[in-house]
């Protein structure tokens, strides 16, 4: 199922506001991007079962000591993914995604963790599975990724969110690497968004069940709309955050907003999760601009 016209119009309007407000404010957007790296790293690694907390991830990226012994691998996973995210913020605008780029990003991600598999696809005899899904034979990976890229760039009719969602579903189904497929796949999603002039998004560990279910729905039922919704909600949230900051609004926690305006907090949080209000998360806490008018929401409820 493709993205509806209503959702397309919402994205178009948010993009219009974003492009209009961002003029002359590149430094603010850079600050927002940099401040978000730890949260992006934490969530992507947590989806892959890293034990690091957000606070520990922040400290590791700031070269600060943390209060417990952690696996050195998890430290490298955090630092390497942060470097990859920083790298694509500038490089994505310069170069189209290619196999060489994908392999280079994987090299950066797995560097010092397992140099034997870093920067290369699975080779003969290297089979992997995700749950009950057995990934294609390694001998097929190179051609499958090349065809995936060709299909993505030759398709000028499909809406960009749908294309990115389908690419992500296919990439993870191919599972081209021995390790790091999920993290690289989410990086590629952001690479594609950046190429189109959109900000990076965060696929959050808190919604991991919904995210994983989208893969099952695709593999078992060939349904793409669950992943389209994951990408759309993440994009809405990223745009809402940046637009709110670009407007220079005072930003408060949704809980404080509800208390001040006599709004029903569960309704506001539900609307935030559905992105029917311009709310966004920072360090897992829902926030919103103080100028948001919740009266229509109350009337609808």
Give the tens place of pLDDT for each residue, 262-274.
999 999 999 999 9
**Residues 96, 74 share a domain:** yes
Q: What is the pLDDT of residues 193-249, one digit of tens each?
A: 999 999 999 999 999 999 999 999 999 999 999 999 999 999 999 999 999 999 999
Other CB atoms within 10 Å distance of the CB of residue 35: 11
Domain check: are 205 and 264 in the same one? no
Does one domain contain both 185 and 163? yes
Per residue in 146-196, pLDDT (tens digit) is 999 999 999 999 999 999 999 999 999 999 999 999 999 999 999 999 999
Query: 160 and 69 in one domain?
Result: yes
Contact present, 224 and 166 (Cβ < 8 Å): yes
Say whether both 156 and 275 belong to one domain.
no
Whether 141 and 176 map to the same domain: the answer is yes
Same domain, 173 and 294: no
Same domain? 237 vs 297: no
- Close Cβ partners of 74 (under 8 Å, ≥ 6 residues apart): 45, 50, 51, 52
Q: Which two tokens stand for residue 118?
A: 């870093």
Please count the structural domains in the chain: 2
Domain final position from 229, 248, 267: 248
CA distance 104 to 298: 50
Residues 83 and 15 in one domain: yes
Share of the chain above pLDDT 90, in %: 92
Would you state the pLDDT for residue 294? 76
SS3 of 289, please?
Answer: strand
Q: In this predicted structure, what is the pLDDT of residue 300?
A: 44
Predicted TM-score of the model (pTM): 0.96
Residues 81 and 98 in one domain: yes
Q: Residues 224, 280: one domain?
A: no
Contact between 241 and 280 (Cβ < 8 Å): yes
Among 57, 110, 42, 43, residue whose Cα is nearest residue 80: 110
- 274 is written with which tokens? 């559905």
DSSP 95: S
Give the structural domain span for 212: 5-248
């Amino acid at each position: 199922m493709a993205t509806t016209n209503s959702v397309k119009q919402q994205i178009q309007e948010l993009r219009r506001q974003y492009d209009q407000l961002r003029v002359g404010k590149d430094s603010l957007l850079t600050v927002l991007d940099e401040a978000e790296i730890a949260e992006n790293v934490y969530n992507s690694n947590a989806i892959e079962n890293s034990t690091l907390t957000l606070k520990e991830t922040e400290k590791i990226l700031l070269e600060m000591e943390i209060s417990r012994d952690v696996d050195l691998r998890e430290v490298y996973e955090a630092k390497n993914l942060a470097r990859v995210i920083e790298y694509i913020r500038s490089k994505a605008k310069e170069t189209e995604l290619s196999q060489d780029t994908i392999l280079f990003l994987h090299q950066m991600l797995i560097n010092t963790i397992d140099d034997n598999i870093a920067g290369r696809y699975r080779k003969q005899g290297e089979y992997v599975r995700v749950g009950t899904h057995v990934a294609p034979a390694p001998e097929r990976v190179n051609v499958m990724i090349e065809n995936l890229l060709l299909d993505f760039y030759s398709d000028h009719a499909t809406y960009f969110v749908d294309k990115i969602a389908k690419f992500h579903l296919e990439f993870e189904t191919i599972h081209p690497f021995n390790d790091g497929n999920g993290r690289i796949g989410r990086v590629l999603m952001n690479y594609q968004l950046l190429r189109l002039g959109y900000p990076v998004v965060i696929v959050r560990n808190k919604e991991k069940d919904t995210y994983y279910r989208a893969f099952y729905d695709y593999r078992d039922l060939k349904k793409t709309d669950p992943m389209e919704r994951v990408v759309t909600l993440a994009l809405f949230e990223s745009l809402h955050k940046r637009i709110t900051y670009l407007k220079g609004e005072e930003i408060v926690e949704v809980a404080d907003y509800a208390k001040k305006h006599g709004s029903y907090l569960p309704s506001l949080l539900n609307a935030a999760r559905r992105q029917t209000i311009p709310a966004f998360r920072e360090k897992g806490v829902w926030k919103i601009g103080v100028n948001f008018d919740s009266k229509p929401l109350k009337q609808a409820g």
